[in-house]
Amino acid sequence: MKTVKDYIRTIADFPHEGIMFRDVTTLFADARGFRMAIDQLLHPWAGEKIDKVVGLEARGFILGGAIAHQLSKGFVPIRKKGKLPGQTLSQAYKLEYGEAIMEIHEDAIQPGERVLIVDDLLATGGTCGAGIKLIERLGGEIVGCSFIVDLPELGGRELLESLGMSVSVLCEFEGL
C-alpha cells in the first residue's frame, strides 16, 4: 500500500546545487494521493473546533483550500508582502540570508476564532512562525500546524513546539 511519501518526488540540485527539492506537485496530481494527504492532514485534529484554515504561501493554499472545503470552514491565505489587496498586518522573519515579510488581511480572523495552519513543507519554521505571530496579533487561537513533509535537520518542528504549537507531519526526509 502506498504512503503519502511514495507520491513525492525528489529533484536533486533544485533550486540550488546541494538541495534535494521535495516536490509535492506529484502528490497533488494523483487523485488518490491527494485525497490521502488531505485526510491525513485533518486526522490529528478530528474533534477539535476549527473556525478557519490558514494556508501559507504558496502550496499551503492548495492544501488549505481543500481542508477548508472538507470542514465547511473559511480559508485565509497568508501571503508574501505586497500580494494582498486590502489592509494588512505584516510580520518579518529571518531567512538563511536576509529577511522576508508575510502578511494577512486585518479582518481575516476574528478574536477567539480557532485556526488550523497548513503548509506542504516544514523546514526552519520561519514562515509558519511569522504566520503564528500574525494570527495571534489578530486574536486567533491556533489549534495546530499540519505539514506534509518535515525536514527535521533544519529544526522547524522544535521551533514551532517552543512557541507552544502542536505540530503534525505526514512524513520526513533527511537532509536539505
Q: Is 89 among the domain residues?
A: yes
Backbone angles phi, psi at 29, to 5 degrees: -75, -15
- Distance in angstroms (rounded) separating the CA atoms of residues 169 and 102: 22
Q: Please, what is the angle between helix 31-42 and helix 59-71, to 10°?
A: 70
**CA–CA separation, 152 vs 132, rounded Å?**
19
Domain that residue 113 falls in: 38-172
**Selected catalytic residue, list 22, 59, 79, 157:** 59
pLDDT tens per residue across span 10-44: 999 998 898 999 999 999 999 999 999 999 999 99
11 within domain boundaries: no
Q: Is residue 88 part of a domain?
A: yes
How many structural domains does the chain have? 1
CATH number at residue 122: 3.40.50.2020
Do the domain assignments include residue 25? no
Q: Are 103 and 86 in contact (CB under 8 A)?
A: no
Out of 32, 35, 48, 96, the active site residue is 96
Determine contact, residues 88/56, Cβ cutoff 8 Å: no
Judge whether 22 counts as a catalytic residue: no
Question: Could you tell me what percent of the chain has a pLDDT over 90?
Answer: 93
Q: Across the chain, what does the average pLDDT equal? A: 96
172 pLDDT higher than 90: yes
95 in a structural domain: yes
**Does the pLDDT value for residue 130 go beyond 80?**
yes
- Please report whether residue 73 resides in a domain: yes
pLDDT at 176: 67
pTM to 2 decimals?
A: 0.96
With respect to residue 74, please indicate whether it lies within any of the assigned structural domains. Answer: yes
The reply to whether 96 belongs to the active site is: yes
When pLDDT is averaged across residues 76-100 and rounded to a whole number, the result is: 93
Q: How confident is the model at residue 95 (pLDDT cuts 50, 70, 90)?
A: confident
